[in-house]
A and B are shown apart, each in its own frame.
Chain A
Amino acid sequence: MNEHVTRWLDAYHDGELSGRRLQQVEEHLAGCEACRAELEALSALSSLLQESLPIENLMQPERFVAQVGLQLPRRPERTALQQALETGWRLIPVGLLGTWAFVQTLFVLVTGLFLAQSIPLGQTMLASIIPPGSGVSWLDELECFTGSNNLIQAALCTLGHGGPLGWAVTLSLIVLVSIGLLYWSWLASWWLRQAKQPARLEQNHTI
């Protein structure tokens, strides 16, 4: 005989078990009279509890609602600006995600543009876009960028050349870090707001 499943019987009785645990309990119950008796006792208790007295002498629903209405304190209505701010606050993560996607796309485009330097056609195209003799060694920057192991190294290396690639990498890095910080700040404030929702049972019952 397997170990008794007493600790799961409440959950089983309440229909809260599923999957493997449910199967385990059902298999055990099929062969264990003691656990079946426990389960029957739980069912009997539930039936008995339903026999508790009905609530009597309650006021009519309409009267109850009216009485509540009379006691409701004045509450300043939320202005359109407050509602807009609230909606805006809730949309912050979407905005951050959009900015992140935009910066990433821009970064990929810029990187692609510089990688095009490695093929003759790309060099011709870039030469038509960027005037020659600007004093920037594209190939040096490109070599530095592709030879780096990570974004920070690439940023420091390319920035050392003073070229646009370095600035692009650095800027994207700063923006991504800022987005990350803003997102975590928003998450922290969201968590704090959630924590301020109706007080928990064991704590002070402020609501």
Chain B
Amino acid sequence: MQNVTTSAESTESDLISRAQRGDRQAFGELVYRYREGVVNVVYRMCGDSNLAEDAAQEAFIRAWQHLPGYRPESPFRNWVYRIATNAALDVLRREKETVNIEGISLIATSAGPEAAAESDERARRVQEAILALPPASRVVLILREYEGLSYKEMTETLGIPIGTVMSRLNYARTRLREMLATYLEAQ
């Protein structure tokens, strides 16, 4: 696991197949490749970088445990994202949904309101608004807006019909437009 490389020497399918056979180094390369996306999804879900890294690690451990059952019919990324979103939801549940959005460790605001730039304040409000969404709608919004997944990919990732993806996304955007109306009007 230590000698992680990002080279394209090994194709993804090769890495997956080796990891399925128990090759930890191959799995390490997969973790390296998908770490950023997974951490990003989980962070947007729970809004705390420490929690996000814990949940991301948990997601990769679950992925390792269930890798022999992975079928290449759906892309590996979608499979990992599904595990990651479930891990994030579990973390949120463990924290009893008490991830206090007022107390989230947002470094940019630590200098105090006077020193905080307007853009940082806006970014903080955006983050708060996302965290105020119900988890089911939040995850759809995150996968679409931050990870760029198509509707079809989201149906595979979340295991929900495309109609549900569309309605949750619409709900999330409508709520965000209400919550962020001040900033949207100013644009």
Contact = CB atoms under 8 A, between A and B. Distances in A.
Interface of A: 7, 10-11, 14, 16, 41-42, 44-53, 55-59, 61-62, 64-73, 75-78, 83, 194, 196-202, 205, 207
B122 A48 contact: yes
Nearest to A76: B22
Interface stretch (B8-16, B85-93, B95-103): B85-93
Interface in B28-81: 28, 31-32, 35-36, 39-40, 43-44, 49-50, 52-53, 56-57, 60-62, 64-66, 68-71, 79
Interface in B80-137: 82-83, 85-87, 89-90, 105-108, 119-120, 122-124, 126-127, 130, 136
A93 to B, nearest CB: 14
A202 B137 CA distance: 11
Interface of B is mostly: helix
B71 A197 contact: yes
Contact of B32 (A41, A50, A65, A78): A65
Q: Which of A44, A71, A201 gathers most chain B CB within 10 Å?
A: A201
Contacts of B90: 205
Contacts, number: 163
B124 A53 contact: yes
Contacts of B79: 198
Contact of A78 (B4, B22, B123, B166): B22
B35 A45 contact: no
Given A48-B180, A62-B4, A65-B32, A55 B39 contact: yes
B180 A51 contact: no
Chain B interface extent, by class: 35 or more
A45 B172 CA distance: 11
Given A52-B130, A68-B28, 16 more contacts: A16-B150, A41-B177, A44-B184, A46-B145, A48-B180, A49-B141, A49-B176, A51-B119, A51-B126, A55-B49, A57-B107, A65-B28, A65-B31, A71-B57, A78-B20, A205-B89
Nearest to A56: B107
Contacts of A58: 39, 49, 53
Nearest to A42: B173
Nearest to B173: A45
A49 B39 CA distance: 17
Contacts of A77: 21-22
Q: Which 5 A-B pairs have the closest CB atoms?
A: A69-B1, A77-B22, A200-B159, A205-B86, A53-B123
B169 A53 contact: no
B66 to A, nearest CB: 6
Given A48-B187, A51-B122, A65 B1 contact: yes
Contacts of A196: 69
A72 B61 contact: yes
A64 B107 contact: no
A45 B1 contact: no
Interface in B146-163: 146, 150-151, 158-160
Given A14-B151, A197-B69, A55 B43 contact: yes
A116 to B, nearest CB: 48
Contacts of A14: 144, 150-151, 169
A46 B141 CA distance: 10
B119 A10 contact: no
Nearest to B130: A52
A72 B24 contact: yes
Given A66-B2, A73-B65, A207-B83, A201 B160 contact: yes
Contact of A10 (B108, B169, B184, B187): B169
B7 to A, nearest CB: 14
B66 A207 contact: yes
